[in-house]
Structure 1
Amino acid sequence: MLRVVMHGDILADHMLGMYEIVETVAAGPASLFILQDLSRSQNFTAAARKTVASEPRADLIAGVASFGESFQMRVMIAMMDKASRLFGRQVVTPSGFFATEAEARDWIAERRRLTAAR
């Protein structure tokens, strides 16, 4: 699991840096879960949204559990997921929004159990 804490505006460079780490630590396709603290984040810039939508290394991520995000950030992320599907991404990474880190960790644990059962 990779724990990510975002502060302020999320830039394309931030996302590219995260994907570099993902590429380094992932064991293979859909093998790494991200626990994402968005309590101090403000906005996904347009360039960051474009990076997320087009980044092939996203396929290494098994799921993203976010917590602490604002309502606006939650809407933005949901729209990014929908846009990824519209623009041809075959597999959109499962994601969930949670009030607390503990709930986010529980979701990841459940997703791991489901993945292991396959």
Structure 2
Amino acid sequence: MKLHSLSRVFGAGVVLAAALFSSTPQAEAQQGRVRLFEPVTFEKLPQHVGHELLVKTTLGSRRSGTLVRSTSTSVRLRLSAKDGGMELDIPRDTVEEMEVVIESAPASPTVGAAD
């Protein structure tokens, strides 16, 4: 494979990764939601079961999915349908950092305030 082809493949991978791990403010504004990312420790994971979790590993990978469960040795995510829809266990000793995704609606304007 030529260097030219490799740079095209690498560039496409970077664009894909950016799309997977970033959100567009326009799309969120249209849906009336704001995505907030809050760092979380293993000890606090049980209260976030069912929420979206972002996990960065010591191996350099990033995974995002719904938190199914956590144990003292691992965290289990359910990946989205586009990522296969399977459940994935991530060993605790490979987790570098985690963030729980909290979605909240912005405050609605007061009814009649502009009248």
Identify whether the pair has TM-score above 0.5, normalized to the shorter chain. Answer: no
- Highest CA radius of gyration, 1 or 2? 2
Relative to total residues, which structure has the larger strand share, 1 or 2? 2
TM-score by length of 1: 0.24
